[in-house]
Structure 1
Amino acid sequence: MSTAAYSTNVSDRARLILQIHRRKKKPGQTMGDDGNEPVIRLFEETLRTGKEPSTEDIWRYAGALTRVGRIPEALDVFAYCVRPRSNSPNLTQSTWLSELLEKMVSCLNHIEIGPRPNANKESSPTLTSEQESTEPSGKKRTLYQREREKGPTGCCFGCCGCGGVFCYPVTLSCGHTFCKRCVRYKEGLGYSCSMCGQKHTFSSQLVVSVIIAELVEKLWSNEMEAAKLRTEGNALFEEGNCEEALRKYDESVTLGGAPWNGCQPFLTLSPDPMTKGGTLKQGTAYSQNPHEFESMSEDETPDDALVYSNRSLAYQRLGRAEEALRDAESAVTLRPKWAKAHYRRGAGQRSLGRVEEAFISFLLCLCLTSEPQASPIISEVTKVLLSVLKLCSPGAGCKLKRPQGPRDEDSDPSRQEDPSDAGGSQQLVKPNTRLRHLWERCLSEAKKLKRSETVEFLRVKNDVKRGDFDCPLCLRMYWQPITTPCGHTFCKSCLERSLDHNPECPLCKGPLDLFLAKRDWKVTQFLEYAMQTLLPEEFEERMKIHEEELRNATGFQDMPIFVCTVAFPSVQCPLHVFEPRYRLMMRRAMESGTRHFGMCSPTSDAQGFSGVGTLLEIRDIQYFPDGRSVVDTIGAKRFRVLTRGTRDGYNTATVEPFMDMPPSEDMLTELKKKHDEVREEAERWMEGVARSTRDNIHLHFGSMPPVEPEYWTLPNGPAWVWWVIAILPLDNNAQLAFLHMSGMEKRLNALLRILGYLGDRNGNI
């Protein structure tokens, strides 16, 4: 068999092995060691036969090493594949390079910051499915996912779209705030929030958030002017006028904050004996302390990373690579976890011929980029990876090492063992020291990036007063601020109470029918963060006041009372809530987490409601578009009313829970006998009820509950007794009499008399 035919046979066998393992793997399971280790062994067996493998076999071998996470060895083999006089990579081989790149990004994203216990410091870390770090929930999180909530540049005070100071801020219903120009949407398609992914549709033009616009104007007036200059520069750049755009960017840097004045960038070049160029090391302005810049002088105040990034691109277009790289490094220093800053730096380094440094920058960019955005970048970075491999590839005369099989007993005893073959897997390609050192640098920079903290460039220079964050309805500091589509902001509870009476904005009287119908209100993140950061003591005080109000509104000391009907323990009680006072009561019960309230029947005397009632627990609430709701509740325990009062329009009471007196041992046998007798009578009466009536009972109250084990120990007795009382044709006074009874025997006797009376009437109700 010829060498070409043998190699083709090996390649076909490798494909067959992978196909078999792909069929065996479960849905959602990735291709791991099981499917690729046989391919690696098959390739090594090919070399033992003395046959020269084809170029395709070598590429396939490198791809198998990649999939099992042996990245350093994969780099060695890929560099061998692109050595001089070898065939240029085709489309399939470029796909293998993309796989290598994605595996490297995955390894950097999930690498541990600290040293692993019992780890071999001399060996390069590799990635396997067991070593990938996960969150407590079991889901893996990348650097991009961990930093996403801070915005594209990590600035919590800036726009969630561009990361800069707000220019005409608009707040979406998901609670995130953007510059108006950053919310780009198409008619009929809507807009997906870049922070949370929520889809938004707009029935009218976006309106500026009034309170946020006022705060930005007061706190960051210079930054706003700098942002306008940057926007003008962007427009000039899009027109192709790069020189004028640079002038605008320079003015923006001068106005928003002085240049860096020699401050070291995030990553700088220093001599490295392992490379011809340099290596990357941590600069002085790159810190793990988010407050380091507070000690700087005014002329060293950090600026907006956006303007440095944009100016770097303008320099790049003009062919001024050194200046482009300088601005890109400043952007990385300001926002070390901003993907675009690393991309700009990589572009500048590549223009200067520093391919290895450019590859590290691009790799960090991919780590900080979401998967949909990374797709076009991977194709470009793959080309850079190919350039790095060619730069570090061995000479044209490099040969593969033949793996030695088990030595036969009759083999030449004088043959010396190869020390590199002892104690582990054999290296088929000589380790590429330069590539392995480059991979170590990638791992090191990823660890530095994970430890870094983003410095907030929008620092408050003016005094902030508590009155800047006052709700226009309650005149107190905002609590859970909600911004309406008309641009006004209120406390969540204040807005809900206002909408209970009228579905209009309390200030401008604009219609809020759709806003009320969705009820998908999220706290305005910018205001929440601003209050926590700028007024921490006042925010803490406001939180305590809110918690105290909730406790007072839902506890037994001042329990809210729904005056409507007689409810019973263990029996469901659906309610249609439409009055504003009871809407408020339901919200407070849900917000406090207690999810309960008292139910009493109305009376004609001055007291207003009965002296005994039932505590109802909320199981579910379904809202209608106009604010009404259907509340699914079930009785929990009985209580006696001690004192009465009112709160915000609804009744309240100080209550005392009570329960059945447990039966004595000598009375237990008689009680069980009475229980069984009443149960049989109740079932007999139900069988005599008309079918239509019985169906309605089952529809509203469900089926008769089964008998609980040791029912005599329950605080309210067996549930089926209350179910029967609820469906009997009794007036309120008779039902309240049952509710007052604190002994199960007395309740059973009364129920037996009523069932006997109804039975004499043939169950007609």
Structure 2
Amino acid sequence: MGSEESEVMLQLAAEAFQAGNFDLASEIYQCQAEGARDPRGRQELLTRRADALAHSGKFTEAFAVYREAADTERLQPSQLQRLTDCLLQALRKQGPGVRRSGASVVEDSLASCPLCRSFLWEPVTLPCGHSCCKRCLEGERPPVCGTCQGGMAAEGHRVNVVLSGLLSRLYPRLEHAGRLRREGKRLHSERREEEALAKYNHSIAIAPGDHLLFSERSQIHSALKHWEQALSDAHTACRLQPLWAQVNSTTYTHMSFVLSIVTSVSFTDTAGSEEEATIDPADVECSLCMRLFLEPVTTPCGHTFCLQCLERCLDHNPKCPLCKKELSEYLVRRQFSRTVLLEQLIHKHLLSELTERQQLHREEMDELSNLNKNVPIFVCTMAFPTVPCPLHIFEPCYRLMIRRCRETGTNRFGMCLGDQRKGFADYGCLLEIREVKFFSDGRSVVETVGRRRFRVLQHQERDGYNTGDIEYLEDVKVEGAAELELQKLHDSVYELGLVWVNSLRPEQKQRIEGHFGPMPPKEMQIQWSPNGPSWCWWLLAVLPLEGRAQLPFLAMTSLRDRLSGMRKVLLFMSQSRHR
């Protein structure tokens, strides 16, 4: 084949490769390689064919061609870049949590980092709740969680104090090996290779199943020109973790010799031989409640607390309870993901204590979710059934109250007027939380709507906010002639109310409707709801009456009496307007 024809075919192969037609590119490169006489040119064509095979996912064939290229002339690390890129891409497509040969030891040992798959050294807990080695995160650009693949900013995240101490006690041998590895890396960076090699030899003697130690010792042997030892360590690293994506330059150099074993060897657990210790319950107690961690969360500063304990502290001050680091941004995100590894360790070593702690929490939640006994009461203003009631929450006690309402799933609390003698009035309205918007200083705006009326049977207090035992109120229904009379009264009062609303200045009406919405229409069945027609409550909310004047209407269980009272108010206001 002439040189011009060969150039045309190579151009065609390059275009096919660029277009994603890797099979065609592979065939052309194969034909060109068979006719090549120059060893270096033949090797180049073989590596291009191997690249095409790798891109098409035919890794077994690709490995064989790379091996053939290496037999022709020694491969350079840069010539294996496409292979490693394809392997990485294939691994990422499988997604997190897929079990495969050489998968992360996180699936088999709690002591492993999902990024480097070695001992979890200096664990940093990320916003997603998963933990990785601090050094691994610093080496990732951009940093990505090794478990859920979620991106995050690793800067500012510090070592999880509780988790680090716990892993050191549970896995002392692996922790010691990790410490030696860190010292060896420091010596290697200072070019003190002999001393670094001694540290790695000691570390491997302690943790002989850790692929990372062999991979890094291979680099040191290479720097010392111990080629056979470097190759042996690279071979062992690939055997221990054949699908480990973070391949270094030394492994690139020797890849041509070990490609044939990558897809056929078995996986070894780096932490499986560690004889685990037990956990003292005192090691996993929240420093705020002094009880076993329940739903532990870790702040960016590395301190861990029960979720509810931390939130309660942040109600008073947006800083870490231990180190006083500012947590305003953490607070506004409300990304309180539980520390997964810590939960797993507690479940594994302290199951009975955890079960007891969870049972106690369930009992507390059951008590808080009772909407008849100890119902939380927000002492502020008048609220009415079906009427929106937006609230600005800034006091710590009410932050706690709102959070508990959401945690229990009821999303409800009572609203009552204040009372100088009792603390709050004997009648109120149950509000339902629709939406909560948080701010960086801990404040929030809570959108609520009125649901049911109630009477307070007993006034109480809990954790700084008011509570009460309550009974719910319903209108008494009437029939026959009384029902017909009630319907006439209802229609006449509705018309009076509509006249009053339409007499308001445009800006007044616009402001009212912006806050409460438009006046509800007349209802066909006026006794269908136990609270009566919605428009009555809307009108009571917007009429210029003081809370003390509105309160008796809330307490009435007779729709006739409520309509009669509203009629008197509307007539008085109409007469006052005409004077």
Instruction: Return the match for 2:175 from 206, 212, 224.
Output: 224
Q: For the structure 1 residues 92 and 573, does the alpha-carbon distance in structure 2 shift closer, same or farther, using more than 3 Å as the test?
A: farther
Q: Which residue of 2 aligns with 1:269?
A: none
Deviations 1:615-656 (A, max 9, x none): 111122222332222211111222233333222121222333
Q: Which residue of 2 aligns with 1:196?
A: 150
Q: Distance in 2 between matches of 1:223 and 1:462?
A: 12
Do residues 651 (structure 1) and 559 (structure 2) align? no
Q: Distance in 1 between matches of 2:306 and 2:206?
A: 36
Query: Residue 329 of structure 1 contacts residue 341 of structure 1 at CA under 8 Å; is this kept in 2?
Result: no
How large is the Cα RMSD of the aligned pairs?
4.4
Report matched runs for 1:161-560 at 5 Å. 161-184=115-138, 195-199=149-153, 202=156, 208-238=159-189, 245-256=196-207, 259=208, 303-314=209-220, 318-320=226-228, 323-324=232-233, 326-332=235-241, 338-340=244-246, 348=254, 350-351=256-257, 357=260, 361=263, 457=272, 459=274, 461-508=276-323, 512=327, 516=331, 519-556=334-371, 557-560=373-376
Query: Residue 688 of structure 1 contacts residue 763 of structure 1 at CA under 8 Å; is this kept in 2?
Result: no
Deviations 1:684-710 (A, max 9, x none): 111112333323322322222334565
Q: For the structure 1 residues 630 and 86, does the alpha-carbon distance in structure 2 shift closer, same or farther, using more than 3 Å as the test?
A: same
Q: Which moved more, 1:338-347 or 1:629-638?
A: 338-347
Query: Residue 103 of structure 2 contacts residue 243 of structure 2 at CA under 8 Å; is this kept in 1?
Result: no
Report matched runs for 1:606-621 at 5 Å. 606=422, 608-621=423-436
Q: Distance in 2 between matches of 1:520 and 1:758?
A: 51
Q: Distance in 1 between matches of 2:419 and 2:545?
A: 16
- How far residue 89 of structure 1 moved from its aligned partner, in angstroms, is 10
- How far residue 323 of structure 1 moved from its aligned partner, in angstroms, is 1.6
Query: Residue 138 of structure 2 contacts residue 154 of structure 2 at CA under 8 Å; is this kept in 1?
Result: no
Deviations 1:61-95 (A, max 9, x none): 8999x76xxx9x86985676456128989999999
Q: Distance in 2 between matches of 1:633 and 1:598?
A: 11
Residue 611 of structure 1 aligns with an amino acid whose one-letter code is: D
- How far residue 249 of structure 1 moved from its aligned partner, in angstroms, is 2.2
- How far residue 245 of structure 1 moved from its aligned partner, in angstroms, is 4.3
Q: For the structure 1 residues 652 and 207, does the alpha-carbon distance in structure 2 shift closer, same or farther, using more than 3 Å as the test?
A: same
- How far residue 470 of structure 1 moved from its aligned partner, in angstroms, is 0.8
Report matched runs for 1:88-127 at 5 Å. 101-104=54-57
Query: Residue 369 of structure 2 contacts residue 410 of structure 2 at CA under 8 Å; is this kept in 1?
Result: yes
What is the SS of the residue equivalent to 2:430? strand
Q: Which residue of 2 aligns with 1:411?
A: none
Any unmatched runs of 5+ in structure 2? 60-90
Q: Which residue of 2 aligns with 1:574?
A: 390
- How far residue 751 of structure 1 moved from its aligned partner, in angstroms, is 2.2
Q: Distance in 1 between matches of 2:47 and 2:239?
A: 33
Q: Which residue of 2 aligns with 1:367?
A: none
Do residues 85 (structure 1) and 35 (structure 2) align? yes
Aligned residues: 530
Q: Which residue of 2 aligns with 1:717?
A: 532
Q: Distance in 1 between matches of 2:237 and 2:115?
A: 20
Q: Which residue of 2 aligns with 1:39?
A: none
Query: Residue 503 of structure 1 contacts residue 511 of structure 1 at CA under 8 Å; is this kept in 2?
Result: yes
Q: Which residue of 1 aligns with 2:404?
A: 588
Q: For the structure 1 residues 185 and 324, does the alpha-carbon distance in structure 2 shift closer, same or farther, using more than 3 Å as the test?
A: closer
What is the SS of the residue equivalent to 2:553? helix
Q: For the structure 1 residues 90 and 751, does the alpha-carbon distance in structure 2 shift closer, same or farther, using more than 3 Å as the test?
A: farther
What is the SS of the residue equivalent to 1:692? helix
Q: Which moved more, 1:566-575 or 1:486-495?
A: 486-495
Q: Which residue of 1 aligns with 2:69?
A: none
Q: Distance in 2 between matches of 1:648 and 1:221?
A: 43
Q: Distance in 2 between matches of 1:345 and 1:91?
A: 20
Do residues 685 (structure 1) and 538 (structure 2) align? no
What is the SS of the residue equivalent to 2:457? strand
Q: Distance in 1 between matches of 2:33 and 2:394?
A: 78
Q: Distance in 2 between matches of 1:535 and 1:673?
A: 69
Query: Residue 623 of structure 1 contacts residue 629 of structure 1 at CA under 8 Å; is this kept in 2?
Result: yes
Q: Which residue of 1 aligns with 2:94?
A: 143
Deviations 1:212-262 (A, max 9, x none): 333233222322221122223334445666665444322112123xx4xxx
Q: Which residue of 1 aligns with 2:518?
A: 703
Q: Distance in 2 between matches of 1:763 and 1:623?
A: 47
Q: Distance in 2 between matches of 1:605 and 1:670?
A: 40
Q: For the structure 1 residues 309 and 730, does the alpha-carbon distance in structure 2 shift closer, same or farther, using more than 3 Å as the test?
A: same
Residue 602 of structure 1 aligns with an amino acid whose one-letter code is: G
Q: For the structure 1 residues 603 and 246, does the alpha-carbon distance in structure 2 shift closer, same or farther, using more than 3 Å as the test?
A: same
- How far residue 211 of structure 1 moved from its aligned partner, in angstroms, is 2.3
Q: Distance in 1 between matches of 2:424 and 2:94?
A: 59
Q: Which residue of 2 aligns with 1:23?
A: none
Q: For the structure 1 residues 737 and 513, does the alpha-carbon distance in structure 2 shift closer, same or farther, using more than 3 Å as the test?
A: same
- How far residue 723 of structure 1 moved from its aligned partner, in angstroms, is 0.8
Do residues 737 (structure 1) and 545 (structure 2) align? no
Residue 152 of structure 2 aligns with an amino acid whose one-letter code is: Q
Q: Distance in 2 between matches of 1:498 and 1:575?
A: 21
What is the SS of the residue equivalent to 2:352? helix
Residue 467 of structure 2 aligns with an amino acid whose one-letter code is: T
Deviations 1:173-223 (A, max 9, x none): 55444444445389xx99665652123554xxx654432333233222322
- How far residue 456 of structure 1 moved from its aligned partner, in angstroms, is 5.1
Residue 399 of structure 2 aligns with an amino acid whose one-letter code is: R
Q: For the structure 1 residues 341 and 56, does the alpha-carbon distance in structure 2 shift closer, same or farther, using more than 3 Å as the test?
A: closer
